[in-house]
Amino acid sequence: EQSKKWVLMVTAQTPTNIAVIKYWGKRDENLILAINDSISVTLDPAHLCTTTTVAVSPDFDEDRMWLNGKEISLAGGRYQNCLREIRARASDVEDEKKGIKITKNDWQNLHVHVASYNNFPTAAGLASSAAGFACLVFSLAKLMNVQEDNGRLSAIARQGSGSACRSLFGGFVKWVMGKEEDGSDSIAVPLVDEKHWDELVIIIAVVSSRQKETSSTSGMRDTVETSSLIEHRAKEVVPKRIIKMEEAIQNHDFPTFAQLTCSDSNQFHAVCMDTTPPIFYMNDTSHRQKVLMGCQLFRIIGCVEKWNRSEGTPQVAYTFDAGPNAVLIARNRKAATLMLQRLLFHFPPNSDTDLNSYVIGDKS
């Protein structure tokens, strides 16, 4: 039988985001519901982003996906949840020129092919799942003509990876943990757009591009089960910090922003260390440079803290995620230049203590 050869495609690009008030811990593993609100900044898509093309054709007989050119399985619950939620919201699509007409019901039987590329190391703690699931959900929603705003789409991306919900918006974004059991109010909301605080410059120092040892998913599960500090953090500390952080962002108050960002990163790593068995994201011991490397990230903290104190007011905030990379947020271009000079002085390239690379990007 001759099939009707047509393919309909959509391509989208989504940047990653960096949390300044961290998400760590779930109250529902399947729906991916957090135990606290979090706030992040979405990066400029020119630097760290995922590009995803989704295609549909009557000739495809199963859903398939390629990540960085290599086929991956879509069998996992997270992919299935996202695909199911988007399909359930699909509407009619008509392309008169190509003579294509897809009805709402057709989508339940049509299959998609997905090709996704990251322009940065996957799973090295640079939030590849955040950009990846945000881009997957957004491009599928466009392909299937889903009539929902980015807030509603964020609740679907969240079911792929928690941090992904925050990448549906630019600028500073809050993931509201929500109260509902079905997760319907656990969505991302934009706080301010990318133009609001455009003096900020973000530097990412890549210590190692290898994959991290403890996945965020299992790490945060262990923390929730074993840490005695996590409840205090989620219930007492973070709610107050969220209010102060929103104010600092609205008012361009860099000293408060920097203090909260650094403290929250340090507390996140403290609850990781308070986990059984302890999680050391800041200690990259499997790297060839072993002990030296293990100290690199701590040395960056020392370097920034010392400089900020000597200037009398913070010039740079640091934050470290679940991988061997340092994110530095400078108050302006001048501070970023001085910070880079310091990094290059303390960690000269091609020395025993070098960092693999630096990515510099304006926030957008």
- Cα(24)–Cα(232) distance, integer angstroms: 13
Q: Which residue from 54, 56, 143, 322 is in contact with ligand 2P0, where contact means CB under 6 A?
A: 322
Question: Which residue number, 32 or 316, has a Cβ lying nearer to ligand 2P0?
Answer: 32
Q: Is 37 in the site for ligand 2P0 (CB under 6 A)?
A: no
- For residue 173, what is the DSSP state? E
CB 45 within 8 A of CB 88: no
Region near ligand 2P0 per CB under 6 A, out of 160-168, 176-184, 249-257, 348-356? 160-168
Q: Scan residues 11-30 and list those touching ligand 2P0 (CB under 6 A).
A: 19, 22-24
| Helices within the chain (DSSP H only) | 77-88, 128-143, 150-157, 216-226, 230-232, 238-250, 254-273, 290-311, 333-346
Which one-letter amino acid corresponds to residue 96? Answer: E
Is residue 36 a contact residue for ligand 2P0 (CB under 6 A)? no
Contact call for residue 217 and ligand 2P0 (CB under 6 A)? yes
Between 15 and 143, name the residue whose CB sits nearer to ligand 2P0: 15
Give the tokens for residue 165: 């919900």
Q: What are phi and psi of 153, to 5 degrees?
A: -65, -30
Contact call for residue 81 and ligand 2P0 (CB under 6 A): no
**Residues facing 188 on adjacent strands:** 175
The strand pairing partners of 239, in sequence order, are: none
Q: Which is nearer to ligand 2P0, 57 or 85 (CB)?
A: 85
Q: Which amino acid is present at 65?
A: M
Residue list 230-259, contact with ligand 2P0 (CB under 6 A): none
Cα separation, 70 vs 64, whole angstroms: 11
> Contact 50/13 with Cβ under 8 angstroms?
yes
Candidate segments 143-151, 161-169, 225-233, 247-255, binder of ligand 2P0 by CB under 6 A: 161-169
- Identity of the residue, 118 or 129, whose beta carbon is nearer to ligand 2P0 in the bound complex: 129
- Residues 342-361 close enough to bind ligand 2P0 by CB under 6 A: none
From 32, 55, 248, 300, residue interacting with ligand 2P0 (rule: CB under 6 A): 32
Rule CB under 6 A: say whether 161 interacts with ligand 2P0: yes
- 320 or 347: CB nearest ligand 2P0: 320
Beta bridge partners of 56: 8, 112
Binding site for ligand 2P0 (CB under 6 A): 19, 22-24, 32, 38, 129, 161-163, 216-217, 321-322
